[in-house]
Amino acid sequence: MEFQNVGTEKVGVGQCAKMGTTSLNALVTHHHTYQPKEKNIMSCKEVIHDGEFKNDKIYVILLRDVFDKWKSGMWMELQNKNRPFSVSNVLEFFNKNIYYNGFENKDDSAVNSALEVMTLLHDPKSPTGNSWMFQGHGKFWKWNNYNEIPLGIYAQLPNIYFLELKDLSNPKFLKWLCEQDSDWECVTEIPHENKSAHQDVFWKQMKLFWQQYNEGLILKDKILVSPFSSDVIENRYFDRKNIPIDNIFNQEQMTIDFIRENHKRYLKFY
């Protein structure tokens, strides 16, 4: 099978969208696909991109709570330039904190635009549907860019280890890599490249929208499907038990929690 990873001939770290891609790419030498911004991150060419899964090679899969992984991916999908102009316009309003007072003022054209666009994006009966949330970067069940093998299957392979995304740049993890293969010693650090800080204002506005929707203060005549949507919205009971995407969400998180608590190849660094 194919398995995208960055590393040496003996030890590689798997690559998956919204899971430290920029930090991992920074390890690859300039004659590959990425030019590191930082000097002295590495001083040799042993660290390479690889796409073939080998039974005699150690791999590390990065873990992240499903909701956080999906949310980061969904944000990327919203930036899709092929979306209607009205969607892009409202997203810009979110980024500029236009909705800091909420979404109840029906005399505000920006608010009306937001209600229209959020309905368009999240009502299963809308022309566009809501499957966009779980496409591309929004495929929260993917743990490698080259395949969609379930995490539970990976957990059964003897050469797979697991590490929290937040520990990718932990010096103790780099030390562990060097202990597995001395070729990793050419890497002096795994840089922490985080581009999500600029999303804070956006998510503050989005959180407020779903809070008001879940409290029945806006769009009372609509049923919007999203992981942000609550089970009970005022007097409108919406049974989510039979929604397949919810079941996948829960199953993936259960697998992650099991690995954290029980898997012998789950790496912990304190």
pLDDT in tens, 151-192: 999 999 999 999 999 999 999 999 999 999 999 998 888 988
Chain centroid to CA 122 = 19
Please give the torsion angle defined by the CA atoms of residues 216, 236, 116 and 122, in that order, rounded to the nearest 10 degrees.
120
C-beta neighbour count of 82 within 10 angstroms = 5
Instruction: Give the pLDDT mean for 110-119.
Output: 92
C-beta neighbour count of 38 within 10 angstroms = 11
pTM over 0.85: no
Parallel, antiparallel or unpaired: strands 160-164 and 48-52: unpaired
- Pick from 24-33, 124-133, 241-250: least confident: 24-33
Place of tokens 């003022």: 105
pLDDT in tens, 46-67: 788 889 899 999 999 999 999 9
Which token pair is 60? Answer: 């590390």
Is pLDDT larger for residue 58 or for residue 222?
58
Place of tokens 């798997």: 14
Instruction: Give the pLDDT mean for 122-149.
Output: 86
Is pLDDT larger for residue 235 or for residue 110?
110
Is pLDDT larger for residue 228 or for residue 256?
256
Given a cut of 80, is residue 232 above it in pLDDT? no
Supply the DSSP string of 166-222, one letter for each residue: GGTT-HHHHHHHHHH-GGGGGB---------GGGHHHHHHHHHHHHHHHTTSS-TT-
**How much is the pLDDT for 236?**
55
Q: Which of 89-103, 104-118, 147-161, 186-200 is predicted most confidently?
A: 147-161
Taken as a whole, the chain contains a residue count of 270
Distance CA(47)–CA(185), nearest Å, equals: 10
Contacts of 69 (CB under 8 A, 6+ apart): 18, 19, 140
Reference 24, options 182, 197, 163, 198; nearest CA is 163
**How much is the pLDDT for 9?**
92
